[in-house]
Structure 1
């Protein structure tokens, strides 16, 4: 199988990498964290590169690129530890909105492509434990349209978003996969309240509450659409993690080639060289599973869901191992806020918990193995 990237994809990678290297250095990132974890200037810079319209269909002002192009972008954003909720808006929200009525697509997709609107998925609920079928937020249809009530947690940039894509129950029990619809709710709508905060990795999130808030219906088949959006997010995160781990390994190798003990650089110590070899192995395992996740996004839902859980499980194993080993190889400086590697470690640790932790996805893989004995389809 040919895993070479096209010339256009390499040009895309170079453009994003140049922006990260020039305009998104470590000190700039720390300033963004101090300012709240999100920067409108950086958001417009991403839009200026054309990245916001990457997955938006050409009919709505985007470029209509595919999953591999998105993977290339996410690797470079991960390498730079970029805080902007790019994947949540440009990839996840766009995938959900493409199933919306044409009028709703025309109202929001061009704004996303132009960087004028920040639309994020608001799906997590406190008791869900990563289960996408657990939805207690409710929606009812009345004379004036749909009204939604409920609460969502850890919504990316929720207090700064222009609109939310939120699953809500229109029928059935709290854990029933049927009866879930997907809605778009504007943050300025009546009854919407948000409480923003910084997360451990420096990004921004919020608690969002709806109280009889006006909502626009995206699809009554909300569960299947939500699964697709989350799978797109998992694939994007796998690529982001590969970029982050790749950069962390390079930083660690540079440190080992500079730090001296007993008059020699510590990279000459055989035990440390063996540990770096193990770290590199975990990085390459994650890279191969990132490719696997991206290439499986176009499969049937059952095969896609299992593939993405397999990838997310390997991602969790690799991020934990690479983050911990690289931090230990640095010694005490590796856990200081002033040193860049600690921020990679925090981001990798947070990734392991997003969209389901390793144990959750191990259970998902196990439930979907059937008679294949773990052999990938």
Structure 2
């Protein structure tokens, strides 16, 4: 199998890396975090690069690209620990393109691709514990449309988004709806998250909603799997940069008149970190290549990848802090922000223990060995 990237993919990587290096330095990120964890200006710059429409067909104003391009982009954004949740644009673009009717596509996809509309997935509930089939929110028919009632937690930029993709029970079955933030009956309360980004609690009280699909559980699984693949790729970028920062520090910090990077025990620790990074990278590739596979195969692959990425994120992050010493957890030092990001991502779209359970539940006669 050829794992080399095409010229177009390398050009895409180069364009995103240049934007991160020149347009999203640590000072801008810190200012964005201090201002609340989200910048509409930065979001529009990402859209100008075409990234918000990466998974949206060209006929709908997007770039019409696929999972590999999404992986390339998310890796580079991870290297810059970009606060703006581009993964949500990938999710909304993929879900609406695959499951919505033509009128909904025409209304939302061009605006998502152009950066004029931010549509985010609002699916987490307090009692669900990462289970997608547990949904307390309720939907009901209302005239020619629908209304949604319920509460969703930790919604990315939930108080800044223009609309939400919301799962809710309809006639005893989970359906997927699109609800505008400006609709009557929608209330949001924003707050900062551990990694410096922004989340919100969102309450729907008979809020007007547009039906995306009545086969909501399958569409929700698709949405979350897009999010898992994006998170895995982003985590590889975060760990890659964490490694660079750590090695740079070891080659500068001195003890007993020599750089600590010359100590054999510390070099072994760095080698172990590198092994975890490369294992994570290979599993991110695996998740990306399985994103368009049949549902059962795709779900199994995402659980495997997210579990392994969770293990690697914890190992690389913890060892980076330990190799730095006290400075590794100070807010003024950039390395601590990478550690916080890894900690946050380990819990996104299901934590490591949840996905270990998912891997176990999906084992067949092969006992988890790839067929």
Cα deviations by residue, 1:105-164 (Å, 9 ceiling, x for unpaired): 000000001010000000000000000000010000022420110000000000000000
The answer as to whether partners of 2:346 and 2:352 remain within 8 angstroms in 1 is yes
The structural deviation recorded for 1:54 is: 1.1
Give the match for residue 45 of structure 1.
45
5 Å-filtered alignment, 1:283-294, equals: 283-294=277-288
Cα distance in 2 for residues equivalent to 1:30 and 1:336? 14
Q: Does 1:182 align with 2:176?
A: yes
Following superposition of structure 1 onto structure 2, how do residues 92-241 of structure 1 map, counting pairs within 5 Å? 92-98=91-97, 99-172=99-172, 179-241=173-235
Q: Between Structure 1 and Structure 2, how many residues are aligned?
A: 370
Cα-to-partner distance string for 1:13-36 (whole Å, 9 max, x where unaligned): 000000000011111100000111
Per-residue displacement from partner, 1:189-240 (whole Å, max 9, x unpaired)? 0000000000011000000000011000000000000001100000000000
State the match for 1:175 in structure 2. none
Corresponding residue to 1:246 among 229, 234, 240:
240
The 4+ residue runs of structure 1 with deviation greater than 6 A are: none
Report the Cα distance in structure 1 between the residues aligned to 2:293 and 2:96, rounded to whole angstroms. Answer: 19
Quote the offset at 1:171 in angstroms: 2.7
Point out the more displaced range, 50-59 or 124-133: 50-59
- Separation in structure 1 between the aligned mates of residue 131 and residue 342 of structure 2, nearest angstrom: 22
- Contiguous gaps of at least 5 residues in structure 1: 173-178
Displacement after TM superposition at 1:50 (Å): 1.3
- CA distance in 2 between counterparts of 1:49 and 1:88 reads 16
Residues 1:346 and 2:340 aligned together: yes
Contact 2:53-2:93 at 8 Å conserved across structures: no
Aligned equivalent of 1:176: none
Give the corresponding residue for 1:76: 76
Corresponding residue SS for 1:130 = coil
Out of 252, 261, 284, the residue aligned to residue 258 of structure 1 is: 252
> What SS class does the counterpart of residue 116 from structure 2 fall into?
coil
Distance apart, 1:47 and its partner CA = 1.0
Distance 2:220 2:234 in 1: 21
Aligned to 2:30: 30
Contact 2:130/2:349 (CA < 8 Å) preserved in 1?
A: yes
Deviations 1:282-337 (A, max 9, x none): 00010000000000011110010000000000010000000000110001100000
- 2:57 is aligned to 57
Please list every run of 5 or more consecutive structure 2 residues that lacks an aligned counterpart in the other structure.
none
Alpha-carbon distance, 1:265 to partner: 0.5
Aligned counterparts of 2:272 and 2:103: Cα–Cα separation in 1: 52
1:357 to 351, 354, 357: 351
Q: Does 1:313 align with 2:307?
A: yes
The whole-number CA distance in structure 2 between the counterparts of 1:53 and 1:251 is 32
State the alpha-carbon separation in 1 of the partners of residues 218 and 124 from structure 2: 16
Question: Which secondary structure does the structure 1 equivalent of 2:153 belong to?
Answer: strand
Q: Can you list the C-alpha shifts for 1:51-103, whole angstroms capped at 9, x where unaligned?
A: 111111111011100100000000000000000010112x1111111110100
- The whole-number CA distance in structure 2 between the counterparts of 1:36 and 1:203 is 7
Which residue does 1:8 correspond to in 2? 8
